[in-house]
Amino acid sequence: MTDLLTPTPSSRRDFLRTLSLGAGATLAGTAALGAPLDWLAPERKLGVALVGLGNYSTGQLAPALQQTKYCQLAGVVTGSPEKAVKWQQQYGIAAKNCYDYKTFDRMMDNPAIDIVYVVLPNALHAEYVVRAAQAGKHVICEKPMATSVADAKHMIAAMEKAGKKLSIGYRLHFEPHNQEMMRLGQSQAYGKINHLAADNGFKFGSGGTPWRVNKKLSGGGPLMDMGIYCLQGCLYTKGQVPVSVTAKFAPNSNPALFKDVEAGISWQLRFADGTVADCRTSYTENMSRLRADAAQGWFELEPAFGYGGLAGKTSKNDGKLNLPNINQQATQMDDFAQCVLLNKPTRVPGEMGLRDVQLLEAIYRAAETGQSVSTKDVVQLIDRRSAH
């Protein structure tokens, strides 16, 4: 055990040889013993291929991949040959690692790509995750995982068949402020949580990406895009999956723009022990807040869900949470790379993505019918790691 925790130069060499034989070969035992990973310095970082070079890939993921320790930007998939050339020059990507949507499946023969990161409009996630599985790659899929429960289940089955790992791009599970909400809530640091509130939205405007208001491509409006963070926040703060939901669409102030998807929606989650969560999302309002009111105090984040500048406080002397803002995406991708290298489970697996798609569908059903919808049958999965 001591050897594993403080590797000698020769055990480190053996370890690196193991890595170079193939990612995730035989290291589960090491992870189980809680070996620190800082000495894990693979000679070849795992290669990540970004699929879809839109705003999130360009503005967040590619820059974050310049800061990762265990993975690197090795390839891209784009429908635009000009973008491919630009990215090759900007990031030193080999031309042989650039694909379009037709040649995508040839990645099967490319050992430089270990992880495929699907960053496409929501409705396209399923097709490309399944094709990545068939190409024998590990996958990170952006949120929401899919636009239907059936698609999410199909994706998980394809990844299982391939024997590869699937995670969802839930960056906030790796973010200190949100991890503190998990810890305070799940450990009941302020007693039992009686009420949760979560709001997340932005003003869509005319410059918004058109697929987000096209139901066929998005699966829905702000609930799919921004509301999913409220849902996640309530579940990981409470540490439970709700038992039922009610919901109501907001009035549509711009029917010309929001003709296919909701402009906003509010919903209430009910948990088995009586806790209620009030959530709201919108494409017409800027908001980002997560708050818990508990028996002996309260704790909250505002802003709660962005890429940076997150801040929080608690009722303890109105104390500010003194926590760092980190590069969430770099940390998220490095964590997944370690899961692959050490063959350990990700804390944000496909099953969590499926759980959330089940809940999103239930929220829409509740809003459409005006009825309370039972959520007792959804996947029972919570990230509990940060609670201790």
Point out the residues that are catalytic. Answer: 143, 229
- Based on the shown chain and the rule CB under 6 A, indicate whether residue 131 belongs to the binding site for ligand NAD: no
- Based on the shown chain and the rule CB under 6 A, indicate whether residue 211 belongs to the binding site for ligand NAD: yes
Rounded distance, CA 120 to CA 230, Å?
A: 22
Q: How far is the CB of 249 from ligand NAD (least distance, A)?
A: 20
Rounded distance, CA 168 to CA 138, Å?
A: 12
- Based on the shown chain and the rule CB under 6 A, indicate whether residue 54 belongs to the binding site for ligand NAD: yes
| Structure-token pair, residue 64 | 């974050």
Residue 47: count of CB within 10 angstroms of its CB: 23
The dihedral over CA atoms of 31, 35, 36, 39, expressed in degrees to the nearest 10, equals -100
For residue 255, cis peptide bond before it (omega within 30 degrees of 0): no
Return the residue nearest ligand NAD (CB atom).
Answer: 54
- Based on the shown chain and the rule CB under 6 A, indicate whether residue 299 belongs to the binding site for ligand NAD: no
Q: Which stretch binds ligand NAD (CB under 6 A): 3-11, 52-60, 249-257, 275-283?
A: 52-60
- Based on the shown chain and the rule CB under 6 A, indicate whether residue 178 belongs to the binding site for ligand NAD: no
Rounded distance, CA 250 to CA 297, Å?
A: 31
Q: Which stretch binds ligand NAD (CB under 6 A): 55-63, 256-264, 296-304, 335-343?
A: 55-63
Residue 355 CB-half CA count within 13 A: 21
- Based on the shown chain and the rule CB under 6 A, indicate whether residue 177 belongs to the binding site for ligand NAD: no
- Based on the shown chain and the rule CB under 6 A, indicate whether residue 209 belongs to the binding site for ligand NAD: yes
Q: Which of residues 105-124 bind ligand NAD (CB under 6 A)?
A: 119-122, 124
Q: Which of 137, 164, 165, 171 binds ligand NAD (CB under 6 A)?
A: 171
Give how far Cα 216 sits from Cα of 130, 251, 264, Å: 19, 22, 18
Neighbouring residues of 226: CB distance < 8 A, sequence distance ≥ 6: 200, 201, 202, 281, 282, 283, 305
- Based on the shown chain and the rule CB under 6 A, indicate whether residue 55 belongs to the binding site for ligand NAD: yes
Contact letters (x/-) for ligand NAD, 59-88, by CB under 6 A? --------------------x---------
| Structure-token pair, residue 108 | 């099967």
Q: Which of residues 223-242 bind ligand NAD (CB under 6 A)?
A: 225
Q: Which residues bind ligand NAD (CB under 6 A)?
A: 52-57, 79, 119-122, 124, 142-143, 169, 171, 209, 211, 217, 225
